[in-house]
Amino acid sequence: MSNVLLTGATEFIAVHILEELLSKGYSVRAAIRSDGKSKFLREQFPTSKLSFAIVPDIAVPGAFDDAVKDMDYIVHTASPFKAIVEDNLKDLLLPALNGTQEVVITSSFAAVFSGPLNLRGQKTYTEEDWNDISWDEALKSDGRVAYRASKKFAEMAVWDFVKSNKAPFSVTVLNPPLVWGPMKQEVSLSTLNTSNSYIYNLMQNTVNLDPSYIFGFVDVRDLAIAHVAALGNPKAENQRIIVSGGLYTYAALIGVMQKYRAQGEAYSVGPDDSDDWCMEANENGGIDSSKAKEILGIFFRPFKDTIVDTVR
């Protein structure tokens, strides 16, 4: 079976990818920032098919030179997602750009869409779309704008690199919207990944709701399956693929959370009512993820399962 380098291996999405890779028989070299980060993963996955490479700073040119040796595939998830950024250039743009030029990336739907964080009334976005944020805007704007810009420029750098260097490898870029789901990484409230902290803050009633809000989501387990399904898949070669499980509204999100709180496990194993909850969102359009289904063969989990498992 093939050897895979997995970057950012201790993070939310990457740990699910690691589990999926190992379950499929791959040997995985996990890139981590320090040796101390390996203890948790060794305990979670006690197998000889897991080894580690220490990459202290992904922004240093050639940071992955040793880590990529003898690897058949590279799955690159190590690009920062921070809601608050003190230095947009240092914290987001350079790490994303310098790191991703050398490997395959997990990008984001943030690189695809323009406009406010609300898809209500907007067009349906496809892989042909890119956000319209300029580099100068990214340097002057808040962290959320800089994050979207970092994903755009990092991904463009990958495609430019492949084109300019006639790279002897193929590239698949996955573009998920908000990623939710159960957490397998070592985590505390202070290190809770940004997307799941959104759910946590709603549970704590610390978020002001916008009743008009519509956006996309994907279950982290489906996203992990998508990464592994792209490996060695001729149909996925040099493809940009949006990986979205569907759209949701604030009303749907709050409704499922409240129903689970009221009914507990009886609700979690009951009939799937996701279509009812998300009907308004799904009639809106917004995200076309047909390529993920056609090329990667993904069957997305119901919204209800994703939210219940995240809340649990």
**E strand or H helix at 80, and its extent?**
none
Q: What is the pLDDT of residue 178?
A: 94
What's the mean pLDDT in 29-41? Answer: 90
CA distances for 7 relative to 43, 56, 278, angstroms: 19, 11, 34
pLDDT of residue 81: 56
Q: How far is the C-alpha of 234 from the C-alpha of 94, rounded, in Å?
A: 31
Q: Give residue 105's pLDDT.
A: 79
Closest alpha carbon to 294 in 236, 219, 224, 237: 236
Q: Can you tell me the distance from the alpha carbon of 46 to that of 42, in angstroms, rounded to the nearest whole number?
A: 5
Alpha helices (H) in the chain, listed in sequence order: 12-23, 38-44, 88, 94-100, 135-140, 143-165, 194-203, 220-230, 250-263, 265-268, 274-282, 290-296, 303-311
| Residue 130 pLDDT > 90 | yes
The highest-confidence range among 38-52, 85-99, 178-192, by mean pLDDT, is: 38-52
Q: Across all residues in the chain, what is the average pLDDT?
A: 87
pTM (whole model) above 0.75: yes
Q: What is the pLDDT of residue 37?
A: 83
Percent of the chain with pLDDT over 70: 92
pLDDT more than 90, % of the chain: 51
Q: What angle do CA 220, 191, 310 make, to 5 degrees?
A: 35
Contact 207, 201 (CB under 8 A): yes
When pLDDT is cut at 50, 70 and 90, the band that residue 58 belongs to is: confident
User: How does residue 194 score in pLDDT terms, banded at 50, 70 and 90?
Assistant: confident
pLDDT at residue 90 tops 70: no
pLDDT at residue 84, rounded to an integer: 52
CA-to-CA dists, residue 289 to 154, 245, 274, 283, angstroms: 21, 8, 18, 15
Q: What pLDDT score was predicted for residue 218? A: 97
Count other Cβ atoms within 10 Å, centred on residue 219: 26
Instruction: Write out 233-263 in H/E/C secondary structure.
Output: CHHHCCEEEECCCEEEEHHHHHHHHHHHHHH
Distance, in Å, from the CA atom of 13 to the CA atom of 161, rounded to the nearest integer, reads 25
pLDDT of residue 151: 85
Those residues whose C-beta lies under 8 Å from the C-beta of residue 283, and which sit 6 or more positions away, are none
9, 31 contact by CB (below 8 A): yes
